A and B are shown apart, each in its own frame.
Chain A
């Protein structure tokens, strides 16, 4: 393979062009691998937080006109018997106002069974003051979102009044604070299920039943079978987040266009370098032809050069991309907690397959961008090439 030998020699002797071409490819691969790490990390985080911060399935009334599930005990029992279901938690959701001294705030007043809600939503992880389980034996106890408590200027141990037209104003004792990092912290108040039912004068009904399943990716199927058996409406997390998930798809199309453009720029960089090399080596190409090198071999010499440049660039780019990703991972960039589901740092994910993709496409782009200059070289007229200065 004398073609490879010539290619290597020419690449190593045009040091500047070689360096710039390699850097162009390396930079493209770096940008793309870091982007991929960011995007797949972000998407994973989004899906995980959708799964973690929402019930896997929410059962609601059959019909939008209806407000309540009447046979919630029966439905809960039936649902919890189903295969793949880990826990169920009926809830009463109401709107009310909380008053403390001169402050008043509208809240989502939620009645929960602490044990059941804990096994479905793991909310005790978010309890920053007090204890969720105190609710079990505190009939008039309430847990507030920390932002809400701040606005009301209440502390654990204080008593707040719950007010709703047509209901008897009732005093509840603040027994704990919750911090989820989302906007829910501004409006949520949890009390015991029976206390909230009584407060709204609606004993024996629930607004929703939340369900936790063993495998979140089976949630759709299980939700479907709940609907069939109970005649109620059952919405899985992926259905509830369909908009976000389809947004992710749109985003990934845009991102792919972006990758395509970056590769395009890198490709033109390589092509440009090779055209320059061909121009500078015109006379040598003529000499090689005079010695009996065929057009095909001349093509190979320049395709090899683009492959050598590309291979070096993508190896360097992959390494740089990996280092940059790791560096960004450990550098915790604060973003407003409300922006993305309570994320506090940029979620970058090192996915080996992404590096393979980036490198593979970079290599393909290289070969493609080498074709034109190589053809140009192969077509040179030997006499004119040799006589060119």
Chain B
């Protein structure tokens, strides 16, 4: 266990925004996250939580520093390799569900599998299985517009999990939901984490939820303090 390399490793990772004035949204972040960990990221608004998540999720590129995923330096990869990793290794859940409005719940969950080149049949089986897992077996043919916020968020979680990613990222996945639904979704994430030994990194403002995590990372003004 100890000599196994971490799933995610940040070395002096920095993101600077330059809109006339220089702004360090993430400042020299160093961090190791081990396989199967459930990590909570907390910090005040504007502290750089989303910035960090976008960098780890390969949605954004750092200004300097190194990011290793599964031991590979992802900052030097081509668009094709990065989008391949987004598809197969990473699963992202946003604060807002961000489902494709023209597609049904089932089709939304199937989409990453189709992008990966899986057959329709295979994709459908996996997607149905996952939607059952998040408690939506009766709602598969509904479009996002016909589902509640909590239901859509569960579809988004099923979608993030569809390609069996080794890392699942959630940027305030329960932020838009009422406490009861939020707790339920949190429980779901925790259960999936234990069942499949996937690595979870979740941003939350809820200290109580954070306290249940394996590790809490605090961000203040773009700087990390690991607890």
A292 B115 Cβ-Cβ under 8 A: yes
Nearest Cβ on chain B to A134's Cβ, whole angstroms:
82
What 0/1 readout, one digit per residue, does chain A (1-40) give for beta carbons within 8 Å of chain B?
A: 0100110011001000000000000000000000000000
Q: Which of A9, A283, A291, A293 contacts B102 (CB 8 A)?
A: A9
Interface residues on B, range: 20 to 34
List chain A residues, Cβ under 8 A from B191: none
Nearest Cβ on chain B to A198's Cβ, whole angstroms:
92
A290 B92 Cβ-Cβ under 8 A: yes
What 0/1 readout, one digit per residue, does chain B (81-102) give for beta carbons within 8 Å of chain A?
A: 0011111100010100011111
Judged by a CB distance under 8 angstroms, whether A295 is at the interface is: yes
By beta carbon, the residue of chain A nearest B110 is A2
A294 B60 Cβ-Cβ under 8 A: no
List chain B residues, Cβ under 8 A from A383: 54, 59-60
Nearest Cβ on chain A to B89's Cβ, whole angstroms:
9
List chain B residues, Cβ under 8 A from A2: 111, 114-115
Judged by a CB distance under 8 angstroms, whether A376 is at the interface is: no
Judged by a CB distance under 8 angstroms, whether B22 is at the interface is: no
List chain A residues, Cβ under 8 A from B159: 291
Nearest Cβ on chain B to A384's Cβ, whole angstroms:
9
Judged by a CB distance under 8 angstroms, whether B112 is at the interface is: yes
Would A291 and B87 be within 8 Å (CB), given that A2-B115, A9-B103, A284-B100 are in contact?
yes
List chain A residues, Cβ under 8 A from B114: 2, 5
Q: Which of B83, B102, B111, B112 contacts A10 (CB 8 A)?
A: B102
Nearest Cβ on chain B to A210's Cβ, whole angstroms:
73
What 0/1 readout, one digit per residue, does chain A (209-246) give for beta carbons within 8 Å of chain B?
A: 00000000000000000000000000000000000000
Nearest Cβ on chain A to B107's Cβ, whole angstroms:
9
List chain B residues, Cβ under 8 A from A289: 59, 83, 86
Nearest Cβ on chain B to A111's Cβ, whole angstroms:
83
Residue positions of B touching A, CB distance < 8 A: 54, 57, 59-60, 79-80, 83-88, 92, 94, 98-103, 111-112, 114-116, 159, 163
Given A290-B86, A293-B87; 15 other pairs, CB 8 A cutoff: A2-B115, A6-B100, A9-B103, A13-B101, A283-B98, A286-B98, A288-B100, A291-B86, A291-B111, A292-B87, A292-B115, A292-B163, A294-B79, A382-B59, A386-B59
Residue positions of A touching B, CB distance < 8 A: 2, 5-6, 9-10, 13, 283-284, 286-297, 381-383, 386
